[in-house]
Structure 1
Amino acid sequence: MYTNILRHPGPTPIPQKVQLAMAHDIYSHRSGEFVELYRETTKRLKPLFGTKQDILLLPSGGTAALEAAAINTVSSGEDVVVITVGAFGDYFVGICEKYGFNVHKLAIEWGEACTEEALVEFLKPLNSIKAVFATYNETSTGIINPIEKLAKVVRTQTDALFIVDGVSCVGGAPAEMDEWGIDILVTGSQKAMMLPPGLSFVSVSERAWKAIENNKTPSYYLNLSSYRNWAEKGMTPNTPAITLIYGLAAVLDLIEEEGYEQTIARHALMKDMVRAAMRSLGIGLLTSDEYASPTITTILTPEGLDLGDYLGHLKNEYHLDFAGGLGHLQGKVFRFGHMGYCFPSDILEAVSLMEAGLQDFNYSFESGAGIKAAQDVFLSRKKR
Structure 2
Amino acid sequence: MFADKLILRIPGPTPIPPRVQQAMNHPMVGHRSGLFSNLFVKTAERLKPIFGTEQDVYIIAGSGTSALEMGVVNTLQPQDEAVVLVSGAFGERFAKICERYGIIAHRLEVPWGDAVTPELLAAYLQDKPQVKAVFATYCETSTGVLNPVRELAQVVREKSDALFIVDGVSCLGAVECQMDEWGIDILVTGSQKALMLPTGLAFLAASERAWKVIEANQAPSFYLDLRAYRKSLADRTTPYTPAVSLIFGLEESLNMIEEEGLPQIIKRHELMRDMTRAAIQALGLPLMTADRYAAPTVTSVNPQGAFDPEQLRKTLNGKHNVVIAGGQGHLKGKIFRIGHMGYCEPLDVITVISALEMSLKQIGADVELGTGVKAAQEVLINHV
TM class, shorter-chain normalised?
over 0.9
SS in 2 for 1:328: helix
Matched residue of 2:376: which SS?
Answer: helix
Is 2:191 the counterpart of 1:196? no
Equivalents in 2 of 1:105, 1:50: separation in Å?
A: 28
Contact 1:192 1:339 in 2 (8 A): yes
CA offset at residue 367 of structure 1?
Answer: 2.0
**In the TM superposition, what is the alpha-carbon distance from 1:302 to its structure 2 partner?**
7.1
Q: Distance in 2 between matches of 1:307 and 1:359?
A: 13
Instruction: Report the Cα distance in structure 1 between the residues aligned to 2:304 and 2:313, rounded to whole angstroms.
Output: 11
Work out whether residues 311 and 363 of structure 2, in 8 Å CA contact, stay in contact via their aligned partners in 1: no
Q: Percentage identity across aligned positions? A: 51
Question: Aligned to 2:146, which of 144, 148, 155?
Answer: 144
Which residue number in structure 2 is paired with residue 27 of structure 1?
Answer: 29
The correspondence of residues 23-102 of structure 1 with structure 2, limited to 5 A, is 23-102=25-104
Q: List 4+ stretches of structure 1 deviating above 6 A.
A: none
DSSP-derived class of the 2:198 partner: coil
Matches within 5 A, 1:1-384: 1-3=2-4, 4-301=6-303, 304-381=306-383, 384=384
* RMSD after superposition: 1.0
Q: CA deviation at 1:363?
A: 2.4
Equivalent pair of 1:152/1:181 in contact (CA under 8 Å): yes
Query: Structure 1: 5+ residue runs without aligned partners?
Result: none
Quote the offset at 1:365 in angstroms.
2.5
Q: 1:35, CA displacement in angstroms?
A: 1.0
CA distance in 1 between counterparts of 2:236 and 2:145 reads: 36
Q: Structure 2 CA distance, aligned partners of 1:316 and 1:246? A: 34
Structure 1 residue 303: deviation in Å? 5.5
Q: C-alpha separation between the residues in 2 aligned to 1:131 and 1:68?
A: 13
Deviation, structure 1 residue 128: 2.0
CA shift digits 1:61-106 (9 cap, x unpaired): 0001100111001111111111110001011101100101111111
User: Does structure 2 retain, via aligned residues, the 8 Å contact 1:142–1:292?
Assistant: yes
Amino acid at match of 1:251: S
Instruction: Tell me how far 1:361 sits from its aligned partner.
Output: 2.5
Count of equivalent residues: 382
How many Å apart are 1:362 and its aligned residue?
A: 3.2
SS at match of 2:205: strand
Deviation at 1:306, TM superposition (A): 2.0
Secondary structure of 2:165's aligned partner: strand
Q: Deviations for 1:13-72, whole angstroms, at most 9, x for unmatched residues?
A: 000000000000111111110111011111111100000000000000000110011100
Conserved 8 A contact 2:86-2:108: yes
Q: Deviations over 1:292-335 (max 9, x none)?
A: 01100001137532222221011000001011001111121101
Unaligned runs of 5+ in 2: none
1:2 alignment partner AA: A
Contact 1:15 1:341 in 2 (8 A): yes
Partners of 1:283 and 1:303 within 8 A in 2: no
AA in 1 matched with 2:302: L
Give me the whole-angstrom Cα distance separating, in 2, the residues matched to 1:23 and 1:377: 38
Contact persistence 2:53–2:179 (CA under 8 A) = yes
Structure 1 window deviating more from structure 2 (356-365 vs 343-352): it is: 356-365
Q: Deviations over 1:226-257 (max 9, x none)?
A: 00000011111000011011000100111111
**1:315 counterpart letter in structure 2:** N
Q: Residue type matched to 1:262 in 2?
A: Q
Deviation at 1:137, TM superposition (A): 0.4
| Contact residue 201 and residue 246 of structure 2 kept, 8 A | yes
CA distance in 1, matches of 2:318, 2:80: 50
Once residues 137 and 106 of structure 1 are traced to their aligned partners in structure 2, the CA distance between those partners, rounded to angstroms, is 16
